[in-house]
Amino acid sequence: ICAMLVALGGLIPWLSAGNLLFAVLMLVACGSLGLFPCYYTFSQELSTRHQGKVTGLLGTIAWCTSSPLHPLFGHIVDQTKSYDSGMALVCGLPVLAFLALITLWPAKEAEIP
């Protein structure tokens, strides 16, 4: 649900200023706030003993992979004179992450009491 709310940001370039744009921005914000606890909860599933290392490593990976894209994002902003298209593109990333999660995360086998 949160990933889909964030994906609504893809509509932003086509909405004019007003109540509908404001509503979409609020839904995107709610979805973003809902995703952060999921991220930290899932990272705890990887290792409860080394939680600090896991969180730090995942944060480092996130910044090392996203920082090279900043010049590309800046180029898009320079060409279009707007942040809309770049923001619309990144709004789909949580949906991709959700699809990867449900596809790649191993299902727990049922425990027999």
pTM of the model: 0.64
Residue 4 Cα to chain centre, angstroms:
10
**Interacting residues of 46 by C-beta distance below 8 A, sequence separation 6+:** 54
**pLDDT at position 92:** 83
Q: What angle do CA 1, 98, 112 make, to 5 degrees?
A: 95
Q: Which residues of the chain have pLDDT under 50?
A: none
The residue to which tokens 């279009």 are assigned: 80
Q: What angle do CA 37, 58, 54 make, to 5 degrees?
A: 85
**Interacting residues of 11 by C-beta distance below 8 A, sequence separation 6+:** 24, 88
**pLDDT at position 111:** 61
- Number of Cβ within a 10 Å radius of residue 94: 22
Give the residue ranges of DSSP H helices in 47-66. Answer: 51-66
